[in-house]
Chains A and B, each alone.
Chain A
Amino acid sequence: MSVVEGAVLALLLLCVLFIIRVFVVVKTGSQFKPGTRGPVSVLVVVGSGGHTTEILRLMDSLSSAYSPRHYVIADTDRMSEEKICSFENSRPHPNSKSQFTICRIPRSREVHQSWTSSVVSTLKALRFSLPLVFRLRPDMVLCNGPGTCVPLCVAGLLLGILGMKKVLIVYVESICRVQTLSLTGRILYPVSDYFFVQWSSLRDKYPRSIFLGRIV
């Protein structure tokens, strides 16, 4: 009897400690300044269609201090791969070498997929995302809404929770979202370190978000 009670108590304590740890990792994100120690490695989650266009415009504005750049795309997406390659080749390379890689993982949610099956496929994608993020150990994850970002951000968060490396989660909500956040946005809002929205009505609803006008 007392053993069971002890086990339950230990489990509860572990849960509380875990929650406190997550809270600390997320809260101290803004104090983490990887840029002071040299180049910042970025993991860029590229969706499809409009998402790709938007995120490449954001990448275009970032200086060469953000390198290497690891692009993650869904394995069914050929269009984005071409776009990334032509974008990277058009970038000026001050050091005469462009540092970027393209990684493919299974898509976590097709458009119009049901809730329950997206949970299953997200878990599947997590199996690929964890080794990827643990191997690359990026300083930040940049994403703007495709479902693929959730497992990758979770993997990044886990690195921070385990104390291996703080990974900043930077989320930019799509310009299409004026009044409501996307599903991915709602999931990542509590755990992201920098959460950008592009319309003031969203900033009013989500006070932790950052509003700099339209940025794509």
Chain B
Amino acid sequence: MKTDRIFRAVLYAGGAFVALLVLLAFLSLCHASWLSLKKFGIKFILSREWDPVNEKFGALPFIVGTFMTSIIALIISLPFSISIALLLGVYLREGFIKKVLTYATDLLAGIPSIIYGFWGLFFLVPLVRKLEMKLGVLPYGVGILTASIVLAIMIVPYTSSIAREVISMVPGDIIEAGFSLGATTREIIFGIILPYARSGIFAGILLAFGRAFGETMAVTMVIGNSNCMPKSIFCPANTMASVIANEFTEATKDIHLSSLIYIGLWLFLFTFAINLLGNLVIKKFRVEVKNE
């Protein structure tokens, strides 16, 4: 009994420690960005100007850049990740090909982001430039679209592996019941599996979105790093994480450094809000399943 109590105490301590860490991270971000927070307040995320020389700081272009790249990346990646999940979860329930495919997608998650960045810079950028020349826009090659494609590939394994797990957890008896009623595999997928697994799939999408939202290295290498407001998906832009990565080491003025950390604080808040919202949606989906 005594060891049991100790074990429980250790677990509680571990949990409390993690919660404390998050709180402390938030507080230290607030503390370090105080100078900028005091000077710019909420206007910081509404202003378009980022001028370190004249000490004017506004993060709107970076926030727009972050949302644009992550949302486009999500849209590009979804068809692929859901198809892979369905293929592995429904069609190929076992066998050699399933193993190879599973390893391959999981491996995608293990590749360091700098490798994705280099691949994007040397392989994808020339391709996008060719496309841009055909379309008649300025052929930079780097920009929001390129960054989104790189991100899309990076986040495929996050959605697909979670979706695959949830799909394989759909109870076999209801699937068999479907088949016994004469449903085709496609009908089973759309009528039973997807509705049943949707909250889990959504959790996977959320995880992927979070990954894309905060990705730094690969994005910095291919996004073009321009502080202007992005006007189209071919524009060079900047994300919140890429600005911090770019300017942090050489920010000598206090207000500049503080403003970069302030971006970090907003990144923290946005990620928090997205997760909160996502959890609400997941819950809502679950309730519906129970009611059915």
Say whether A associates with B.
no
Chain B positions near chain A (C-beta within 8 angstroms): none
